[in-house]
Amino acid sequence: MTTFTRRTVLKQMAALPVAGMVLGAPHLALAATPEFSLKYANNLPLSHPLNIRAAEAAQRVAKESNGRVEIAIFPNNQLGGDTDMLGQVRSGGVDMFTPGTMVIATIAPISAITAVGFAFSDYSQIWGAVDGKLGDHIRGAFTKIGLHTFSKMWDNGFRQITTSSKPITNAADLSGLTIRVPVSAMGVSLFKSLGASPTSLQFSEVYSALQTKIVEAQENPLAIMQTAKLYEVQKYCSKTNHSWDGYHFTFNGDTWSSLPDDLQTIIERAFNEAGIQQRADLEKINKGIEGDLSAKGVVFNAPSADSFQEKLQKAKFYDEWKGKFGDEAWALLEASVGKKL
């Protein structure tokens, strides 16, 4: 298994064309003419572990299929913002896309249940939920909108709040704060309930919005803050762990159905196993990110969750979302987190 540090990430990406995968161009260094040429799009920089493991999975698919399948990877919003790519994977313009939980919730609202504020306390709860009955419930909803979804989610991480002017020490510090959130009802609802002024923007717009002070703050996992260089436009990082975010590996349903069974097995196995590796990669790289960002001038603090949870309870946030998701899904969530929300 690859060990991830900043240096090894960059070395891995530099080596990819030599290994036979040219990211962003449909080319594989194999003699056979492929029967299936697939496009995979995402919003992450090349240096993110998701793109490294996805490239390895694509190479594995090419090898195990004897060149029958080629997968071209288009990273870093090359094919548009999240909303654009989600539309393309539904229409067949791209074959594969990894939307975050709150991004795909715009068309399958149940996805956002794993992003409920302060629901999960650790990764054992998360993987038990999304690899188990709650994950099956969510994937069933994706099938109904024409998307096949691989059984293993990929990790994005616990989301943290960054600001340009002050640290967030308790819920009161969020009052009136202009903060970018994903284009999602859950993100807006969470921060409105906490007293902030959330603005939905696609990820491709985040850096410029922070740079030009359209918004003062944003919230994302630390790996995103590092790879997208948000530390250049943000001073403080408050480790709230307010929400967990992961990536669903989705596939256009018609395209998936057109693949022979043996190729479906090869592709799903390669990407599921790569997803497990990416989870471990992100866990390792996260341990070093805080030190790296601190060296770049970011000031960290770790507020208690108590005031935030109290504010959400008073705002009826949990009652509202239980009503939206339904009793069955909410019961699966509470069974996973081991507490009543």
DSSP 113-146: GGG-TT---SHHHHHHHHTSHHHHHHHHHHHHTT
Task: Record the tokens describing residue 307, joined without a space.
Answer: 């005031």
Quick check: is 322 in a domain? yes
In whole angstroms, what is the distance from residue 61 CA to residue 74 CA?
17
Backbone angles phi, psi at 163, to 5 degrees: -140, 165
Rounded-to-5 percentages of helix, strand, coil across the chain: 50, 20, 30
In whole angstroms, what is the distance from residue 44 CA to residue 12 CA?
15
Q: What is the pLDDT of residues 291-322, one digit of tens each?
A: 999 999 999 999 999 999 999 999 999 999 99
Quick check: is 225 in a domain? yes
Quick check: is 1 in a domain? no
In whole angstroms, what is the distance from residue 112 CA to residue 100 CA?
9
Answer with the residue of higher pLDDT: 73 or 27: 73
Quick check: is 289 in a domain? yes
Quick check: is 214 in a domain? yes
What is the span of the domain harbouring residue 272?
6-337
274: CATH: 3.40.190.170
**Taken in order 129, 113, 250, 204, is the CA torsion positive or negative?**
negative
Q: Other C-beta atoms within 10 Å of 319: how many?
A: 12
Quick check: is 21 in a domain? yes
Q: What is the pLDDT of residues 90-147, one digit of tens each?
A: 999 999 999 999 899 999 999 999 999 999 999 999 999 999 999 999 999 999 999 9
Q: What is the pLDDT of residues 44-71, one digit of tens each?
A: 988 889 999 999 999 999 999 999 999 9
Q: Specify the pLDDT at position 20.
A: 34
- Rg, Å, the chain Cα set: 20
> pLDDT category, 1, cuts 50, 70, 90?
very low
Quick check: is 16 in a domain? yes
Closest CA to 163 of 185, 183, 182, 180: 180
* Structural domain total, the chain: 1
Q: Specify the pLDDT at position 46.
A: 87
In whole angstroms, what is the distance from residue 221 CA to residue 13 CA?
21
Instruction: Tell me what the pLDDT averaged over the chain comes to.
Output: 91
Q: What is the pLDDT of residues 178-217, one digit of tens each?
A: 999 988 899 999 999 999 999 999 888 999 999 999 999 9
In whole angstroms, what is the distance from residue 81 CA to residue 100 CA?
12
